[in-house]
Amino acid sequence: MIKILTLNNISLIGLEKLPRKDYEIAAEMSNPDAILVRSAKMHDIEINDNLKAVGRAGAGVNNIPLDKMSDKGVVVFNAPGANANAVKELVISSMLLASRNICQAWNYVNSLPLDNLKTAIEEGKKNYTGSELPGKTLGIVGLGSIGVQIANAAYALGMDVIGFDPNITIKSAWKLSAGVEQVLSVDELFLRSDFVSFHIPLLEGTKNLLNKERIALLPKDATILNFARDGIVDEEALMIVLDSGKVKYYVTDFPIDDKKNHDRVIALPHLGASTVEAEDNCAIMVINQVRDYLENGNILNSVNFPEASMPRAGKERLAITHKNIPNMVGQISTTIADSGANIVDMLNKSKGDIAYTLVDLEHEISPSVFNNLKQVKDILTVRGL
């Protein structure tokens, strides 16, 4: 049985992709072969020697200790784009919530006594006059799966859209509406945007990307939307301009402390990817990838390992994780040849310090091949499939 540990609720439609005759799935178990996770923090968990893969049913992987996983030859997968539409819809709704003062107006109506309600409503509405989106400028930091979808939707609503992403992929650039303008610095984006929306991963280099100096660049009445991660916006600095009225609203999917109660903060409980459709899409995508890795050794959409796929040939396959240093392929093929086995097909790929080799053999693998390969310095894991 292949053992799968789930650290969060994972959509059942996704879990159905794992046949129960071969897979045992539980929220608590020892020595799993793979872990499925959403936002549960994995930094302090012990990585057992049997662990081969982690499947993040979502986009962000800042809850997973990637370096530790790589050192142990554990492949971490995510589900790029599978929840992008869900986030897009929530960001567009949030711009409308902010521009029409909907949360504050709703609170006002909820607070009214029932006697004389109609008069109070008509009296009070002047305090919630809003503005419309067409003609306003939306600045998007990060034009990946989510940023591109938001850019195109906002442009279609009549907004002027500008975007900053120094490492935009060709795939994203192809999808981006021609009307979206590229800006060459994040500072220029802050200077020009009525709405700023972040769609970047939380990394060392993106911490406090919106800091005190950059907040000063924002035009009056700007709205900041953070559906990326807490830590990307310096909230202490932002509170000062929210208090002074310079910035109109801060909409965040990641409330961290009592700042959530500020009049000009619209705080949501990390709802971006919480739709039935996104939960299904993410689970199906990542489980298919994890299963193909466990059963065939193929790697698609890993954040720490290279892409590596090869149609099966021969009798048995070796899947080998190792360091990306000279002569690893030489040592692997010599070790196999020395044991008398014949290679039918072979693939070697690398990403940063990590490399991965698939070898299809004509005949079944003898235990000595495993043992000899495991002795090779800088090989991390060896599996026979």
Ligand X SMILES: O=C(O)[C@H](O)COP(=O)(O)O
Shortest spacing between CB 272 and ligand X, in angstroms: 6
Q: Which of 164, 195, 249, 305 binds ligand NAD (CB under 6 A)?
A: 164
> Which pairs with CB-CB distance under 8 Å and at least 24 residues apart come from 87-91?
87/146, 87/149, 87/150, 87/199, 87/227, 87/272, 87/273, 88/146, 88/149, 88/150, 88/153, 89/275, 90/227, 90/253, 90/268, 90/271, 90/272, 91/146, 91/150, 91/197, 91/225, 91/227
In the complex with ligand X, which residue's Cβ is closer, 84 or 133? Answer: 84
Quick one: how far is CA 300 from the chain centroid?
15
Min separation Cβ 252 and ligand NAD, Å: 9
The Cα–Cα gap between 62 and 165 comes to: 20
By CB under 6 A, name the binding residues for ligand X. 38-39, 58-60, 83, 270, 272-274
Count of residues of this chain found to bind ligand NAD when the rule CB under 6 A is applied: 32
Among 18, 35, 42, 59, binds ligand NAD (CB under 6 A): 59
When asked if residue 289 is in the footprint of ligand NAD (CB under 6 A), the reply is no
Q: Shortest gap between Cβ of 204 and ligand NAD (angstroms)?
A: 11
As given in the structure block, the two tokens for residue 143 are 């034009």
Number of helical (H) and strand (E) elements in the chain, helices listed first: 13, 16
182's contact among ligand X, ligand NAD, none, with CB below 5 to 8 A by partner kind, is none
Cβ atoms 244, 228 nearer than 8 A: no
Q: Which of 229, 248, 264, 291 binds ligand NAD (CB under 6 A)?
A: 229
Cβ-proximal residues to 44 (8 Å cutoff; 6+ apart), any chain: none
Query: Quick one: what does residue 142 bind among ligand X, ligand NAD, none, with the CB cut-off 5 to 8 Å set by partner type?
Result: ligand NAD
Residue, CB closest to ligand X: 58
Provide the binding-site residues for ligand NAD, judged by CB under 6 A.
Answer: 58-60, 80, 83-84, 87, 141-147, 164-165, 167-168, 172, 199-202, 205-206, 227-229, 253, 270, 272-273
